[in-house]
Chain A
Amino acid sequence: MRPAPFAFARPDGLADALSRLGADDDAMPIAGGQSLLVLLGLRLAGAETLVDVTRIPELCGAREADGAVVFGAATTHAMIEDGKVPDPSRGLMRRVAGRIAYRAVRNRGTIGGSLALSDPAADWCPVLIALGATYDIVSAGGARQVAAEDFADGAYSTVLEPGELIRSITVPVLQEGTRWGHAKHARKTGAFAESIAVVVKRPDGVRAALGATGSHAVLLPSVAEAVASGGDVAAAARADIAMADPDADAYRARCHLATILNAAREVCA
């Protein structure tokens, strides 16, 4: 379980990092390494050069701006869990961060690294979709904004092009009167999730999202509608699950139903 040899760079400027990543097809960004190092050790992934992006000032820390909080992509799960950065989500993000894997993973793992890998079972994707976040993506050629729900397009697959990095994640501040529900089911504490459901009920509307599908996290429109109108959440959930995770077997479908119902219950409690 030792990785094959690789070169390692830790640039302290964004431009330097982007030019290294842009110039070398076999260079790979590393932002905490809690998944990538395991894959390298098992020799399931290979890289000629790893470019560590966790020391780039633009990617570190979080700031409040204009009714939102902007998280640097290299913000660790632990910083969010511990409240070391501003929380736009009235506690939701701290709850989610504290349930990612184990503390040792949370100490090094980063929000941007997790999003870029796009593991179907990852914790942040459905949460950020439900919160209506946007991602700021940069490359040597410029920058673009992508809505959270448009970012991933499959298991381990996103709209990121070679040479692009997530710079930051912008999460709108939840206004007074907003409630949220979050439920996660895994084989045990710290294991990859079998299902994650998040429901955010704002005074002006509901967003619900499902994670740990066979592909990527998605919005649950019927569930949102049912929660908003006080309708039949279970029926809505069944309809949404069929769309959100069409290949789910009966067990996974039951897991999704359970997490959606639990998240909806928490919102309405």
Chain B
Amino acid sequence: MASPTSDGAPGWIGARLKRKEDERFLYAAGRYVADVRLPGLKDVAFVRSDVAHGRLLGVTKPEGADVFTLADLGPLNDLVAGPEIAEFRTSLYPPLAGDKVRFVGQPVAAVIAATRAEAEDIAAEVLVETEELGAVTDAVAALAPDAPRLHEAWADNAFIAAPVIAGDQDALAAAPVVVRRRLKMNRQATVSLEGRGVVAHYDRRYGELIVHLSTQGAHVMRRGLAEVLGLAENRIRVIAPDVGGGFGGKNRLTPEEIAVCAMALKTGQPLRWIEDRREHLIASLHAREHTYEIALHAEADGTIIGMSGDVYIDAGAYALWPTGAFMEASMAARNLTGPYKARALNLQTYTVATNKAPMGPYRGVARPGACFAIERMVDELAAELGMDPIEIRRRNLITEADLPMRTVGGLSLDTGHYPAALDMACEMIGVDKVRARQKAGEADGRVIGLGIAVYTEQSGHGTSEWMKRKARVVPGHESANVRMHPDGTVDIAVGIQNHGQGLETTLSQIAATELGLHPDAINVRYGDTATTPFGFGTFASRSIVFSGGAVAKGCREVAAKARRIGAALLQVSADDVRIEAGEIVGPAGSVSLAEVARAATLRPEFLPEGEDALLETTVSYEPADSAGVFSYGAHAVVVAVEPLTGAVDLLDYVVAEDCGTVINPLIVDGQIVGGVAQGIGTALYEEIPFDPELGQPLATTFGDYMVPCASEIPDIRIGHLVTPARVTEYGVKGMGEGGAIAPPAAVGNALADAFRQSRAQFLETPFTPRRVSDAVAAADGEGAR
């Protein structure tokens, strides 16, 4: 099935194993927070601000109702969030509003009732008095001196402004070709199928608060809850059961979660809050909103010199614990040279507070915006110079010979063959055939366009990289507890949180490979601070690198001990045995792992002298180099556009990618398809616009917030290159986010290609029919209005 490991055991690395976790999901037997049943459980509904910005004058509770305001929750500790940078302006985000409300949907009060419906009835009776202040809805206008101030103590509305200046500034200034554009990627929600959810109750047995939480990282969330609630960490147990998607959105501690825990402590009652879709769209963390006012500097032959200009991140009203949205600006700026041999950056970044829900991480974090900016700009440069977009990329792409290299943005690109990915994507999409079809024209009047985008995806980065970002929590390692039971089966407890990544399967494959067992003999456990070793959780495409590495390391320790015990039982040297198919195999005989495990547990009299009992270990792991390993790829898409309505149909979509050694090809392909689907959402559909004066969100149900569904996603064809990483176990690289990075750029380039004659401008996502139709009409000289 796969190549043997160094130990000679048949390996499971690369096996197309169906996901172990899918059985329970397909039988509808998954268990989510909303499935938790406790005697006496009551429901919570929140009263939310209906103004974007205002002074909170008072909250009137209906008589006899169980309603909490901020004063009723206390005393709570301040939960300071954001990066640990002196210039960063902090903004405490109280679990229920204090003196001000700063976005529509901010929780103001919480109601407890027997059912959610009753709680909502009471919530509708709670009177919230506010003195309305001017709403700030645009990150650029927010910096004007006379803009209303969200946080009065600040000198302006920027959380932080930071320059990114690197490389050859003279070359930048002397560039013969400078292409300037304003690009915008609009705000969206994360839209996990399961929204946020929390069930909290105080348990007298251990004297602890037990919190069932839909989260990507139970241990880190426990830390935040302990800080704000003033409890010892061993008095809080966070359990994350099945989590129905997170995409980054469940990697921050949010006010509703804190409020429910505080109320459960106050009342001694088991309490539940399950986010509904409207709450999710209005008040869950938002993502993506970047504005780029930038210039691409190049030689006359199309050689890219670098990028200059301003990057604005609309971070919303508050910083969410631990680090809010404050990796966005630097990641966007540092990724703005893309996979190209650029020499210089001269950027000013602004992370700005506005009267919108706080921004947080979402699959791809900042790179969909950066990729959109650089890849659209490369096509704009090509158009300016009359060059072919594919040729201009070939001229500028970093090649295998250049690697490893440190980019001007400070990213340490490790291994890969970027031009090969571009070539593969071009061949898969059939560039000549598409060009011929474009030339022939369409009978139905639609216009065909071809778009390409190349990206890199930093993954598996550890201590040095997160320290560079001044993160409050530095996810520099991951842990695994490996425990072999007396019958030779294995439980592995990890600190990551599988929530759709197939990690129960891939970590089993790694363990099975190292222990000479079938993956079915391995049980992967996670999502409970009481039963798993400390870990940071699943985000930033880190789990296969970190947790996979920890599992490999721990299993090797256990396997080595099993070999020693097995060798002793066989009366041969440990050097002469290997572990294979559930046996310790010696020169003249073998002993089963079950027998070895029995000796290590139930029958210590069979242990060799000086060998401790148990086949169990807890290890932590970080790759040899913590700057990260870079997956990469090229996407190509063919669109058909109806010029009048602006309707965009994706006729073909191909991905050529390289994520190093693949543990399970089925899962890798699944991650790519899911990521591309979300990227198509960013490219064409998903957007939360705001009323510019009032700050009201204008997409608050799925009637207005468009999510791509099966009918909108073409059959995505995938090709693989494999360049193993040098510093990780097996040569793996993380790849969970890559699919979502390139689609906005690829689709934007395809639209620009379709209308290259008229030079219609496609610089703002999502490319809704209205935006596309208006762009086409404007280029044709018709007022778009």
Contact = CB atoms under 8 A, between A and B. Distances in A.
Interface of A: 1-5, 38, 42-43, 185, 187-192, 194-195, 249-251, 254-255, 257-259, 261
Contacts of A188: 684-685, 706, 708-709, 711-712
Nearest to A43: B124
Contacts of A2: 116-117, 120
B645 interface: yes
B782 interface: yes
B285 to A, nearest CB: 20
A190 B709 contact: yes
Given A192-B703, A255-B644, A187 B120 contact: no
Given A185-B647, A188-B709, A254-B773, A249 B121 contact: no
Nearest to A187: B706
B277 interface: yes
B612 interface: no
B781 interface: no
A251 B120 contact: no
A12 to B, nearest CB: 28
A55 to B, nearest CB: 25
Contact of A185 (B276, B709, B769): B769
Interface of B: 116-117, 120-121, 124, 276-278, 642, 644-647, 684-685, 701, 703, 706, 708-709, 711-712, 768-770, 773-774, 777, 782-785
Given A187-B706, A191-B706, A251 B773 contact: yes
Nearest to B784: A250
A219 B709 CA distance: 33
Q: Which 5 residue pairs are nearest across A and B when measured between Cβ atoms?
A: A258-B644, A2-B117, A189-B711, A250-B785, A1-B276
Given A1-B276, A43-B124, A250-B774, 13 more contacts: A1-B278, A2-B120, A42-B701, A185-B769, A187-B768, A187-B769, A188-B706, A188-B711, A189-B709, A189-B711, A251-B774, A258-B642, A259-B645
Contact of A187 (B117, B278, B685, B711): B685
A80 B563 CA distance: 70
Contacts of A259: 645
B124 A251 contact: no
Contacts of B124: 4, 43
A42 B120 CA distance: 11
Contacts of B644: 254-255, 257-258, 261
B712 A189 contact: yes
A251 B770 contact: yes
Nearest to B703: A192
B503 to A, nearest CB: 32
Contacts of A191: 703, 706
B278 A249 contact: no
Nearest to B45: A2
Nearest to A252: B770
B519 to A, nearest CB: 37
A3 B768 CA distance: 32
A249 B785 contact: yes
Nearest to B116: A2
Contacts of A42: 278, 701
A255 B712 contact: no
Most A CB contacts (10 A, CB to CB) among B121, B770, B774 go to B770
B300 to A, nearest CB: 39
Given A194-B645, A194-B769, A254 B703 contact: no
Contacts of B647: 185
A4 B277 CA distance: 18
21 contacts: A1-B120, A2-B120, A3-B117, A4-B120, A5-B117, A38-B703, A42-B701, A43-B124, A185-B647, A185-B769, A187-B685, A187-B706, A187-B769, A189-B712, A191-B706, A195-B645, A250-B774, A250-B777, A250-B783, A251-B785, A258-B645
Contact of B777 (A43, A187, A254): A254
B645 A254 contact: yes
Contacts of B685: 187-188
B281 to A, nearest CB: 11
B277 A5 contact: no
B455 to A, nearest CB: 25
A208 B498 CA distance: 55
A15 B277 CA distance: 39
Contacts of A195: 645
A7 B120 CA distance: 18
Contacts of A250: 774, 777, 782-785
Contacts of B785: 249-251
A150 to B, nearest CB: 29
A1 B709 contact: no
